[in-house]
Structure 1
């Protein structure tokens, strides 16, 4: 995830420099549907994006939007999510999930560059929002013991950098090609955080904890409608 933030900061500085020289800003809106395929997990997301071109040549763009991301997993392992535990593998306990469904609605940041009038290279990341989904029985492993508990998606999502992140967050690098005037196709690499909260603090050592996270990388394809 550090690579995402490094590229984000570099790109943001480039956009800021171009914005100071901008004489005219062109805006664009689009609707997007994306399907992701990864090990033990698949996703489908629906998004609305609005972006503004920057600089004299208007090659760069920056924007925002909202996205509903749906994640469906099988036989996944979720490990201790709080930063104080996640930073040290010796402090991690785990939840095993035979099936999980998580739905996250988030506000996002979208950055990119127009390689040509038809081809865009971009990056987007969820910033803040909420998650929901069904409660399911999970198998907890910690302190040399196994136990059964119930967990559901962590309700609040917020980007706080690396292990400090909370909840379910979606981000992607993408290439989007406009095949028709208003229709585009997309190839993307998706980095997906999914987080569950147990009904009780099942982890007790070295501290009490009820939050567990799974991180999945997925290959994604999508369609976009420009308007």
Structure 2
């Protein structure tokens, strides 16, 4: 008898929630897409959940969870920390620093990394067409270590080697010094050059083809970051950043709306 009562209570609770004002305003689904520009590839799978706001149901606000894999060919990564870039340089439309003399560079033949980020999303609902924007806020990144080529005429780098119980510091200086690097593991949006790790922002328009699928067209700004094994002891830095703008195409599969 108790099991029957518990079952009935669960059914009633679920049914009440499904008919509640909040539930009728919820929508969710998946975006499966690819962002691309020359030398940059970023396939991703995004889950989203949105709450419609207002009586006219014109606006929606919610959260996202995005799993993305980034692949890049022949890319330059530049000094990342804001304390080194603020007031000295900015980044141009293609991600290159405007004043390269103040910025160290790490050059890669190939870069890859995978990130999982949680973010926010906002939409304007215009019937079959939706206009929106989303931004990653926090997450994690993993990936293989890669060999990059330092380009710095003023930097000095410390290489720690160990032999038994003893360790020594060896310093070297100059351009075209090969270094082992890996993706920065923690992603945090702190705005501008204060951002850490791999962070994406996008704007988009989505066209609903039917109740089961929609087509999403957009533009994505992606920041990726690597951390060198050896620190530049003059600048006290081993973080390097690359920014890219990419066209974005995806299919959307609603779960409920």
Q: TM-score normalised to the size of structure 2?
A: 0.76
TM-superposed deviation, 1:135: 0.2
TM-superposed deviation, 1:51: 0.2
| Contact preservation (8 Å) 1:39, 1:216 | no
Does residue 105 of structure 2 align to residue 75 of structure 1?
A: no
The CA RMSD measured in Å over matched residues stands at 1.3
Where does the alignment leave 5 or more consecutive residues of structure 2 unmatched?
1-20, 89-98, 154-173
Q: How far apart in 1 are the matches of 2:224 and 2:50? A: 27
Does residue 244 of structure 2 align to residue 223 of structure 1?
A: no
The equivalent position to 1:120 in structure 2, one of 106, 125, 130, is 130
TM-superposed deviation, 1:86: 2.5
Q: How far apart in 1 are the matches of 2:186 and 2:73? A: 23
Q: Which one has a bigger Cα radius of gyration?
A: 2
Runs in 1 of length 4+ with deviation above 3 angstroms?
Answer: none
TM-superposed deviation, 1:33: 0.9
| Contact preservation (8 Å) 1:69, 1:170 | no
Q: How far apart in 1 are the matches of 2:55 and 2:151? A: 57
Where does the alignment leave 5 or more consecutive residues of structure 1 unmatched?
1-22
The equivalent position to 1:105 in structure 2, one of 103, 116, 135, is 116
SS in 2 for 1:199: strand
Q: How far apart in 2 are the matches of 1:33 and 1:211? A: 30
TM-superposed deviation, 1:54: 0.4
The equivalent position to 1:157 in structure 2, one of 160, 182, 187, is 187
Does residue 228 of structure 2 align to residue 198 of structure 1?
A: yes
SS in 1 for 2:83: helix
Aligned residues: 202
